[in-house]
Structure 1
Amino acid sequence: MPRAQIDDNGTCIYYEDTGVPHGSVTYPTIVITHGALINSGMSITIFERMLPYASKYGLRIITMNNRGYHGSTPYTEEELAHLASPDVEVQAHGVRRLGQETAQFLAYVCQTLRIPVATGEGAKKEGGLVLVAWSMYGTVAVSILGDPRTMGSDLTATLAPYLRTVVFLDSPSATFGVFPDIGRGTPFGDPTIPNERKSDVFIDWVSAYHTSPPDGVPITAESLHEYYTVLPRTPTLRTLSPEDYQRVIELGDCVRLTGLIVATDEKIHHKYAHCAFSDAGAVLPDVNILYLAAAQAPWASMWGAKVAEELIGEAADQGKKKRKATFLRLKGANHLVQWDEPERLVRLLAESCNDSL
């Protein structure tokens, strides 16, 4: 069971690794972090269908389990208390810890696994590292790029020769500190759903196929009211065998952890998101952003895509540098595109490394 020790306190992260692609010495490395309640490893990973395509597209793919999930170090009560603190600055410290731990794992990948550094420019760029933050754990990505205190000078210097791109894979709007009041909620926030059923309803909701407003129709409360429905197709996570489902889905303490992250002050995430997109000079200015939006994801991800497009389109603050960012909508894809269309996602990541999107 591969585990990376990421600090001097013995904190460990569980990971899976496809290894060096055959015949390549300048391959890009893709590190993927999972979303809420759905892990990245332990015999099966929600990204496992992507892994056989890694070598075909010249990639090394590494999936990681965040702290609090199988194989990785649990959080202490004191650490969780930071996220629940009434003091916003203490909460922000807790959010930065999430990003710092991911950055520490990236440093482990660079230094201990000895991946190639990034070289060249544009379509001729080779090697280096891409972070893919799926779903709610886009929170770690905005923390990394949105506040220089998350990594500090040492981690920043370590990652600078390697990190090329941060990919937000279908993040909900809460990632960016936006909780729209549009008459819709999520299963965990729905008072009509009994507590003992919320997790089950969430699994169906998050992995179903949903209809979105047609091309050219903006995402608004009105357009979602008119066009948004759940399609009569088995939710992706319900297609897993009972054994695989038990290994991939983590409830219990992970529900609590997710709730604490979501409940942190929205101003923290809003500030980090703005800085990540509009103040590139503050943290790793040469790192680009790629936003992949699944067109048939739940409404919260549709709204996340709307917010991301707005962040990409807004002007940089005076005297600041706008970060290079690309937005791509994945037609026909739901929130679990990595399971239902694994080669499509691997190919897109490879194309992003080749600057050919």
Structure 2
Amino acid sequence: MPLASIDEYGVVFDYDDTGAPPGSSDYITLIITHGVYYTNGIFFRLRPYAAPLNLRLVLLNFRENGKSTRFSDDEVKILAGTDLEPKAAFMKQRVKELAAFFVWYIRKENIPIQKEVDGRKTGGFTWIAWSAASAYGVSFFGFPEVIPENQQQLIEKYMRAYVLFDPTHSVVGGHPRTLDELYNVFLDPSIPAADKSLQGPYWVPKLVGKYSRSAQYAYDSLSVDNIGNLPPLLEFLGKLQTMPDPVRLDLLPPEETTEPFGVWRSFMPIISIDPPAFYGPAFDRALTQGFGGEGSGRTYFPNVKFEYVATMQALPETVYGAYWVKRMVLEYQERGTKTRGFNLRLVKDAAHGWHWEEPGEFIKFFASIV
């Protein structure tokens, strides 16, 4: 896989690139980022389906994954601390690094600029953040002012959309819940610690298994268009399936798709940064300020729309995230708050590992919305 050397920050990013579709000069690039425990290998099944849809896939490994630069011990200590300010500064640094990668890639590969001809939009790139990857995306759009002005201007010419694909509740500001309110097998003291380890029997089923028995309820509950029809939160959580349907434990070959190193060292601490104090305000700002909505001053990425894709057979934490955002958007509508372009798309018959289980259907769906 190629390596991107972001010299200004002393960082290297590891990524996979399908290359331009043969003969195409107006293709769309999808930059896809992974969540906790997984590497970009979790998306490799998508590669054969890209070119026929005029897509180029760039599958990026975050730091601590693959050959991307690891965090220093001092950086990790920041995440282990209790002070929010240095953690916020840590995430803003990640924003600058990712912006530098986007600019580096655009210039290196000379991808088609986005444009519209006869009502058809071509070129440019869309960022798809799976699961916990939206910790980085919400920070990116919540604190865009840290990106150098020349980089902002270039990215704005190319960036089409940002897709939050099944983000966990914490990174969209969802408040922590008790174990009784939102069951999590990893927090259950009755489950032996060995069973909850990366090698234990719960990781893969919990993260990418299907929670099919509550999918119809979740879909119907989140399909409402009036906040008065949205079920109360605890009622909603109480009706979600808490353990996945049985799955094959060999569904995801670990040597091709996973990176245990950074799970507890950095990624779990990253998504655990105070949701009410950090991710919630950042997500609100990303949706309502800095792009021509509420507030004044510089607009950031004003034409980038947000697509929120929520699979209803996903683990309860991500379905809770969809509820949280649905309520947020309905409250905006009720107050008359202007937001950037935003769509919440519910997929009833898919789970968190949709891209692995049904790569052809997955890529067709995402090609239709980006």
Task: Please give the TM-score of this superposition, normalised by the length of structure 2.
Answer: 0.86
Q: Residue 275 in 1 paired to residue 285 in 2?
A: yes
C-alpha distance in structure 1 between counterparts of 2:35 and 2:351, whole Å: 14
- DSSP 3-state at the match of 2:144: coil
Which of 174, 188, 191 is residue 190 of structure 1 equivalent to?
A: 188
The one-letter code matched in structure 2 to 1:238 is D
In the other structure, the counterpart of 1:31 is 31
Q: Residue 105 of structure 1: CA displacement?
A: 1.8
Q: Residue 152 of structure 1: CA displacement?
A: 3.5
Q: Indicate the larger mover: 201-210 or 315-324.
A: 315-324
Task: Please give the TM-score of this superposition, normalised by the length of structure 1.
Answer: 0.89
Query: Do 1:277 and 1:312's aligned partners in 2 also have CA atoms closer than 8 Å?
Result: no
In the other structure, the counterpart of 2:208 is 207
- DSSP 3-state at the match of 2:256: helix
C-alpha distance in structure 2 between counterparts of 1:48 and 1:248, whole Å: 9
In the other structure, the counterpart of 2:60 is 64
Query: Do 2:183 and 2:242's aligned partners in 1 also have CA atoms closer than 8 Å?
Result: no
Between the two proteins, the alignment pairs up a number of residues equal to: 345
In the other structure, the counterpart of 1:93 is 89
Query: Do 2:206 and 2:244's aligned partners in 1 also have CA atoms closer than 8 Å?
Result: no
CA distance change for structure 1 residues 121 and 164 in 2, over 3 Å: closer, same or farther? farther
Q: Residue 157 of structure 1: CA displacement?
A: 1.6
Q: Deviations over 1:199-238 (max 9, x none)?
A: 3323221111103252433563323423525453315x63
The one-letter code matched in structure 2 to 1:256 is R
Query: Do 1:82 and 1:93's aligned partners in 2 also have CA atoms closer than 8 Å?
Result: no
Which of 153, 168, 193 is residue 149 of structure 2 equivalent to?
A: 153
Q: Indicate the larger mover: 13-22 or 103-112.
A: 103-112
C-alpha distance in structure 1 between counterparts of 2:183 and 2:165, whole Å: 21
Percent sequence identity over aligned pairs: 28
In the other structure, the counterpart of 1:258 is 267
C-alpha distance in structure 1 between counterparts of 2:16 and 2:53, whole Å: 18
C-alpha distance in structure 2 between counterparts of 1:216 and 1:196, whole Å: 37
Query: Do 1:21 and 1:55's aligned partners in 2 also have CA atoms closer than 8 Å?
Result: yes
Q: Indicate the larger mover: 291-300 or 221-230.
A: 221-230
Query: Do 1:277 and 1:311's aligned partners in 2 also have CA atoms closer than 8 Å?
Result: no
CA distance change for structure 1 residues 270 and 53 in 2, over 3 Å: closer, same or farther? same
Q: Residue 344 of structure 1: CA displacement?
A: 1.6
C-alpha distance in structure 2 between counterparts of 1:191 and 1:329, whole Å: 33
Which of 100, 105, 109 is residue 104 of structure 1 equivalent to?
A: 100
Q: Deviations over 1:117-137 (max 9, x none)?
A: 111179511100100001011
- DSSP 3-state at the match of 1:168: strand
Q: Residue 350 of structure 1: CA displacement?
A: 1.4
The one-letter code matched in structure 1 to 2:191 is I
Query: Do 1:187 and 1:202's aligned partners in 2 also have CA atoms closer than 8 Å?
Result: no
The one-letter code matched in structure 2 to 1:192 is S
In the other structure, the counterpart of 2:224 is none
Query: Do 2:141 and 2:282's aligned partners in 1 also have CA atoms closer than 8 Å?
Result: yes
- DSSP 3-state at the match of 2:35: coil
Q: Residue 9 of structure 1: CA displacement?
A: 4.0
Q: Deviations over 1:252-290 (max 9, x none)?
A: 333221232133222111111101111233421111000
CA distance change for structure 1 residues 343 and 195 in 2, over 3 Å: closer, same or farther? same
C-alpha distance in structure 2 between counterparts of 1:46 and 1:227, whole Å: 26
**Gaps spanning 5+ residues in structure 2: where?**
222-229, 293-298
The one-letter code matched in structure 2 to 1:277 is L
- DSSP 3-state at the match of 1:261: helix
Q: Residue 138 in 1 paired to residue 150 in 2?
A: no
C-alpha distance in structure 2 between counterparts of 1:120 and 1:100, whole Å: 29
CA distance change for structure 1 residues 82 and 320 in 2, over 3 Å: closer, same or farther? farther
In the other structure, the counterpart of 1:82 is 78
- DSSP 3-state at the match of 2:343: strand
Q: Deviations over 1:24-49 (max 9, x none)?
A: 10111000000001110xxxx11111
- DSSP 3-state at the match of 2:254: helix
C-alpha distance in structure 1 between counterparts of 2:195 and 2:96, whole Å: 33
C-alpha distance in structure 2 between counterparts of 1:9 and 1:227, whole Å: 43
Q: Residue 143 of structure 1: CA displacement?
A: 0.8
In the other structure, the counterpart of 1:335 is 352
The one-letter code matched in structure 1 to 2:288 is S
C-alpha distance in structure 2 between counterparts of 1:7 and 1:154, whole Å: 17
CA distance change for structure 1 residues 197 and 149 in 2, over 3 Å: closer, same or farther? farther
In the other structure, the counterpart of 1:295 is 312
Q: Residue 161 of structure 1: CA displacement?
A: 0.4
The one-letter code matched in structure 2 to 1:216 is D
In the other structure, the counterpart of 1:116 is 112
CA distance change for structure 1 residues 216 and 119 in 2, over 3 Å: closer, same or farther? same
Query: Do 2:13 and 2:69's aligned partners in 1 also have CA atoms closer than 8 Å?
Result: yes
The one-letter code matched in structure 1 to 2:143 is D
- DSSP 3-state at the match of 2:195: helix
The one-letter code matched in structure 1 to 2:274 is D
Q: Deviations over 1:7-31 (max 9, x none)?
A: 3243111111111012210111000
CA distance change for structure 1 residues 324 and 246 in 2, over 3 Å: closer, same or farther? same
C-alpha distance in structure 1 between counterparts of 2:90 and 2:114, whole Å: 31
Query: Do 2:36 and 2:268's aligned partners in 1 also have CA atoms closer than 8 Å?
Result: no
- DSSP 3-state at the match of 1:47: helix
